[in-house]
Amino acid sequence: MSSLPQILFLLVLGGAGYLLYRRISFLRKTIMLGKQVSRTDHPKERWKTMMLVAFGQKKMFKRLAPALLHLVIYFSFIVINLEVLEFIIDGIAGTHRIFAPVLAGFYTVAINIFEILAMGVLVSCVFFLLRRNITKVPRLSSSELKGWPKLDANLILWIEILLMLAILTMNATDQILAYRGVEKYIPLGGLWISGSMQWIFDGLSNNALLTLERFAWWFHIIGILAFAVYVTYSKHLHIFLSFPNTWYANLEPKGKMPNMDVVTREVKLMLGLQTEPSADEPAAAEAGRFGAKDVNDLTWVNIMNAFSCTECGRCTAECPANITGKKLSPRKIMMDTRDRAEEVSINMQAGKKGFDDGKSLLGDYISQEEINACTSCNACVEACPINIDPLAIILEMRRYTAMEESGSPAQWNAMFQNVETSFAPWKFAPSDRFNWASEINKDAK
Amino acid sequence: MSEKTYQVPTMAEKSASGESPEVLFWVGCAGSFDERYKAVTLAFVKILNKVGINFAVLGEEETCTGDPARRAGNEFLFQMQAMSNIQVLDSYQVKKIVTACPHCFNTLKNEYPALGGNYEVMHHSQFLQGLINEGKIVMKGGGGFRGKKITFHDSCFLGRANNVYEAPREVIRALDLELVEMKRCRTKGLCCGAGGAQMFKEPEKGRKDINIERTEEALQTGAGTVAVGCPFCLTMMADGVKNKEKEKEVNVLDLAELIAKDQGL
């Protein structure tokens, strides 16, 4: 009888571990649907970027109020999870507050800190719920968030609120029991926040308190484990993925587009700069298609970007096309990429067609109108708090459209023709290019 | 000054006389053909003459860098352009390039190296800032805008794309103008609407044109001059000002034009 809770606990822990393992393997496979790209150069700079942008949340602080609220939740998440260690040891060993005797006075200090942070999380989550649902910050109530994304965002906030309430309830009842001298419960000598809540539970019998305390304990630990599993299905994956996402981020100047080496080889052959492909280069036929039509034409970093996206919409709020009412939303580009990658991956896992399902990212998820509206101004890339690059995906789709489908807007096709024949995007005679110089001494004094 | 005539030497001429100029001025397509923007080319050349820089241009040998083709997705065309330009640049052993166009700047600086073209590339704002810092340009206050309000519109391809935010502002500060920033400036600067090859097509359907949104923001500063450092921005902002019927009160000028005016060139 006495070991039943321990067995139950191990089952819950093992179950959560199994679900997490399965989901993480799935995510890994899905991200690896993307093409290889090497992003391990300049490791020092990469660590620095990760520490500043992910760990230090540098880019969040472009907007102070949400940055502070987010910081409270983030910092508390890390610190309060230290307590989870104790939960797990207690759960397995059947002990209660195993660190209390070891840490003595410091234990009370630590629990007080956890409680203050828990209160901070509570307050922050309430503010976030208000911002999302009452004051309707524009970027948090746009049309692409209808349905699951909106529910996902609210669910997370409610779960966090409930988890924090569970901690405080647990501590409050735990301490009443301790001061009533109930066996196993250890008086901690004053917990400020849960202490001030004790009046709510004072009238209850020992048995009722014991039930409540145990309920809160189990609710909290199962809640945290369920949360961990839930996160892997949610936009909240950023709490883990923002770290690799910033580490593998593009370090080149934002204006630089990656060179297509397969095109370079062909152009060199055409210009007579190179007569035959060298042995170490793959033939053009192996290179697949030009640009991106579907997620497997993107790089694995693009797909990881999509799974790291928290749908905060800072990109879309800064996008000049979106601000002026065009269909493009960089956030939607990332959400579509994620949805399509997940769809293909689930299909493949179920032994179905995978990529040959008659659908593709460009066309079924993202329209030409969206990618044609982009000014490649990099506002979205700059705005992203975790260095996601929606522009890279847009530009790859333009490459596919122009080179595989000749489907660019008519005016761009005309521009291409001008560059080809007049060596300028406008139709001017190349021999007139230097005419401006004849004007230089016209009004010379 | 009456005998002063400005020179525009070409690389071909320089090379024929066995000279190698210190810097190549890459004029760009807008700088060569755009009726309004040609004035910027002329202003910059006059400054180069005045300061006595040993420069040259490619003249008829210059062609599009390929930037709009690449941004619109046509990698083949971009690389064709880039490789033939690199052949020309390398045949003259060009080491250093200055250009007033941030799109040319970005492509020459960041994208030509992958195709074998390695040059030191500067935007004219950086070049002008250098000349001011070295004392080679001393402001005269001849433009009649001392103390007047001016705002600077960041070009995306200079700012976010290449992190050049201060050079153009240093130039404006040297002119003793009161720089009033727009709310969206530097890393948060709003695009004029012409980047990513949008210059060469009509915008997609929407509520508003991007240049109008940006012009409204510029006008709100109360500045009489909107300074730019990009040919496309110049077109878009000038069109926006015209659309708002403010062209009599508000000038849209390139940094080189501001200096040329100050110097009475």
Spatial contact of A318 and A247, defined as CB atoms under 8 Å apart: no
Reduce the DSSP state of residue B251 to 3 states and report it: strand
The CATH number of domain B11-129, selected from 1.20.120.80, 3.40.50.1860, 3.90.870.10, 3.40.1310.30: 3.40.50.1860
- Closest residue in A to B29 (Cα) is A424
pLDDT given for residue B142 in this prediction:
72
Mean predicted confidence (pLDDT) in A211-218: 94
On whether both A215 and A280 belong to a single domain, the answer is no
- Between A253, A403, A437, which is nearest B110 by CB? A253
- CATH number for the domain spanning A300: value is 1.10.1060
Q: In the A/B pair of chains, how many CB contacts fall below 8 A?
A: 229
CB of B162 within 8 Å of a chain A CB? The answer is: yes
Q: Considering the domain boundaries, does residue A287 fall inside one?
A: yes
Tell me how close the Cα of A198 comes to any Cα of chain B, in angstroms.
49
- In angstroms, the CA A240 to CA A100 distance is 30
d(CA A62, CA A60): 5
Tell me which chain A residue has its CA closest to the CA of residue B46. Answer: A440
Which residues of chain B are modeled with pLDDT < 50? 1-3
| Distance in angstroms (rounded) separating the CA atoms of residues B83 and B167 | 30
Q: How confident is the model at residue A278 (pLDDT cuts 50, 70, 90)?
A: low
Would you place residue A445 in the very low, low, confident or very high pLDDT band (cuts 50, 70, 90)? Answer: very low
Q: What is the per-residue pLDDT for B144? A: 75
Contacts of A436 in chain B (CB under 8 A): 27, 31-32, 38, 41-42
Report the residue of A59, A266, A376, A405 to disrupt the B interface, i.e. the one with the largest count of B CBs within 10 Å.
A376
Token pair listed for A79: 């610190």
Residues A197 and A294 in one domain: no
Give the C-alpha separation, B209 to A425, whole Å: 22
pLDDT score for B140: 86
Mean pLDDT of A258-267: 94
| pLDDT category of residue A83 using cuts at 50, 70 and 90 | confident
pLDDT at position A3 is: 83
Q: What pLDDT is stored for residue A183 in this prediction?
A: 87
Q: What whole-number percentage of chain A has pLDDT above 90? A: 85
* Domain finish residue from A194, A213, A247: A247
Mind telling me how many Å the CA of B205 is from chain A's nearest CA? Answer: 6
Residue A394 belongs to domain spanning: 261-417
Same domain membership, residue A213 and residue A359: no
Ordered by start, the domain boundaries in chain B are 11-129, 138-262
Q: What is the pLDDT of residue B3?
A: 47
Interface membership of B117 toward A (CB under 8 Å): no
Same domain, A227 and A370: no
User: In angstroms, what CA-CA distances link A15 with A10, A21, A29, A222, A264?
Assistant: 8, 10, 21, 11, 52
- pLDDT score for A212: 95
Our CA-based measurement puts residue A362 at a distance from the nearest CA of chain B, in whole angstroms, of 14
Q: What is the pLDDT of residue A276?
A: 65
A291 interaction partners in chain B (CB closer than 8 Å): 73, 75
Looking at residue A231, its pLDDT comes to: 95
The predicted structure's pLDDT at residue A282: 54
- The pLDDT assigned to A275 comes to 63
Average pLDDT over chain A reads 93
Q: Which of A271-275, A281-285, A392-396 has the lowest mean pLDDT?
A: A281-285
Closest CA to B159 of B217, B210, B102: B102
Q: Looking at the complex, does the CB of residue B115 fall below 8 Å from at least one CB of chain A? A: yes
Q: How confident is the model at residue A5 (pLDDT cuts 50, 70, 90)?
A: confident
pLDDT at A297 over 80: yes
**A182 and A157 inside one domain:** yes
The average pLDDT across A50-78 equals 94
Q: Which chain B residues contact residue A378 at CB under 8 A?
A: 156, 160-161
Judged by CB atoms within 8 Å, which residues 184-203 of B form the interface with A? 187-188, 190-191, 193-203
Number of independent structural domains in chain A: 2
A268, A399, A432 member nearest B75 (Cβ): A399
Same domain, yes or no, for A266 and A331? Answer: yes
Q: Tell whether A138 is covered by a domain.
A: yes
CB–CB of A121/A164 below 8 Å? yes
In a domain, A57, yes or no: no
**Ramachandran area for residue B56 (φ above 0: left; ψ -120 to 50: alpha; else beta):** beta
Confidence of residue A272 (pLDDT cuts 50, 70, 90): confident
| Helix and strand numbers, DSSP H then E, in chain A | 19, 0
Tokens of residue A363, six digits: 């066309």
DSSP state of B72: T
pTM flag (> 0.90): yes
Rounded Cα distance, A322 and A330, in Å: 9
Of A247, A277, A309, at which residue does a domain stop? A247
Q: What is the CATH number of domain B138-262?
A: 3.40.50
Same domain, A277 and A307: yes
| A187 and A271 belong to one structural domain | no
Chain B contact set for A257 (CB, 8 A): 70-71, 111
Substitution target in A63, A289, A324 with the highest count of B β-carbons within 10 Å is A324
- The neighbour count for residue A386, using CB atoms within 10 Å, is 22
A254 in any annotated domain: no
Which chain A residues touch B106 with a CB distance below 8 Å? 253, 255-256
Q: Do A107 and A166 belong to one domain? A: yes
Walk across the sheet containing B149-152 and list its strands. B178-179, B149-152, B225-228, B251-254
A177 & A72 share domain: yes
Angle CA A440–A442–A443, to nearest 5 = 100
Instruction: Grade residue A283 by pLDDT with cuts at 50, 70 and 90.
Output: low
A431 → chain B, closest CA residue: B60
Last residue of a domain, one of A247, A277, A311: A247
The 10 Å Cβ neighbour count of residue A138 is 9
Choose among A87, A75, A85, A77: nearest CA to A160.
Answer: A77
- Residue of B8, B66, B68 with shortest CB distance to A440: B8
Residue-level pLDDT at B141: 78
Do B138-262 and B11-129 fall under one CATH topology? yes
